[in-house]
């Protein structure tokens, strides 16, 4: 049976969000030590995807970044940079492939900074069209439903122009996953609901180790501590429980955690410090 031979984090773009929103109740003098803010209180963030390649050549992408469908005003608000060619360039330079060569796209959830790269504006019609035309798309059924009827609190994070085309007759294939599942050999998805309903962690088993794409459960290495929970999370107490469970398993089984939004640290193993608190050890 074919299995993943490697998993490699790649950066699609850089952007910025309000530091207070990213760290919730944690005071600025604490979070700013590791994540300095600019004059608009924004901290630097990345949109980091995970490229997985199998020994038979099959290619998988976990999340696809922020995409290109942004006005100049929006680019300024979110401090978006490098997104126009970031993912395409990385795929070409590092793996000698294009978006058309991707066989599967696994989405942790459908927020714009994770699923924006699914589509682009068509030069012919101006409508939203698929970027990964030949890929089978995977998303949790609950997140697909929530994305189409989000709450007032998180409605701005779901943009129908990013993913709505997937419901069309000519859209690429898509599977709605229900709960924990091994969707492909060596790739397991684990739902979490603290950040948004139906988000899924993606666990990839390779010869070099087990990688877990943390999505927005632990968006940066600075978020390992219990209290460091984003103001964006719908159920912050649930996030704390889910984060504790993930970190326990990561330390117990020597998992490698991939941080989707950390501007500097792509991935790390987790160890306990002298006080028993989890710390990130860069890989």
pLDDT for residue 83: 63
pLDDT for residue 219: 98
Fold classified for 4-282 = Metallo-beta-lactamase; Chain A (3.60.15)
Average pLDDT, the chain: 95
Tokens 């429980």: give the residue.
241
**CB atoms inside a 10 Å sphere around CB 167:** 11
pLDDT for residue 276: 86
Q: For 33, what's the count of Cα atoms within 13 Å in the CB-facing half-sphere? A: 8
List alpha helices for 16-159, DSSP H.
Answer: 19-23, 28-31, 72-78, 86-95, 112-115, 141-148
Mean pLDDT by 10 residues, the chain (283 residues): 92 95 97 96 97 97 95 93 77 95 98 95 84 97 98 94 92 96 98 98 97 98 96 97 97 97 97 91 93
Q: What angle is formed at CA 231 by the lines to CA 226 and CA 235, rounded to 5 degrees?
A: 70
CA distance 66 to 111: 9
Q: What angle is formed at CA 114 by the lines to CA 89 and CA 110, rounded to 5 degrees?
A: 140
CA distance 56 to 64: 22
**CB atoms inside a 10 Å sphere around CB 171:** 15
| Max CA separation in the chain (angstroms) | 60
Query: Could you tell me the CA-to-CA distances from 223 to 80, 120, 283 in Å, in that order?
Result: 22, 31, 17
pLDDT for residue 2: 86
Phi, psi of 238 (to 5 degrees): -65, -40
Please name the residues in contact with 43: beta carbons below 8 A apart, sequence gap of 6 or more: 16, 17, 18, 19, 22, 31, 35, 36, 37
């Amino acid at each position: 049976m074919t299995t993943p031979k490697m998993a490699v984090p790649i950066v699609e773009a850089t952007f910025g969000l309000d530091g207070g929103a990213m760290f919730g109740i944690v005071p600025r003098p604490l979070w700013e030590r590791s994540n300095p803010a600019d004059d608009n209180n924004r901290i630097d963030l990345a949109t980091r995807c995970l490229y997985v390649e199998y020994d038979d050549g099959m290619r998988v992408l976990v999340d696809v970044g922020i995409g290109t469908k942004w006005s100049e005003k929006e680019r300024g608000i979110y401090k978006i940079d490098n997104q126009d060619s970031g993912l395409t360039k990385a795929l070409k330079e590092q793996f000698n492939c294009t978006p058309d060569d991707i066989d599967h796209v696994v989405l942790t959830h459908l927020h714009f900074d994770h699923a924006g790269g699914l589509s682009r504006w068509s030069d012919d019609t101006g409508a939203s069209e698929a970027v990964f035309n030949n890929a089978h798309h995977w998303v949790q059924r609950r997140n697909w439903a929530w994305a189409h009827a989000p709450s007032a609190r998180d409605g701005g994070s779901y943009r129908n122009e990013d993913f709505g085309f997937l419901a069309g007759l000519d859209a690429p294939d898509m599977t709605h996953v229900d709960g924990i599942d091994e969707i492909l050999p060596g790739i397991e998805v684990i739902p979490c609901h603290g950040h948004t309903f139906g988000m899924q962690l993606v666990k990839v088993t390779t010869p070099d180790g087990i990688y877990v794409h943390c999505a927005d459960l632990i968006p940066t290495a600075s978020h390992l501590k219990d209290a460091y929970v984003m103001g964006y999370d719908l159920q912050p107490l649930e996030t704390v429980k889910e984060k504790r469970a993930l970190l326990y398993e990561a330390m117990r089984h020597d998992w490698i955690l991939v941080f989707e939004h950390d501007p500097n640290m792509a991935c790390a193993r987790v160890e306990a410090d002298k006080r028993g608190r989890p710390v990130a050890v860069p890989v």
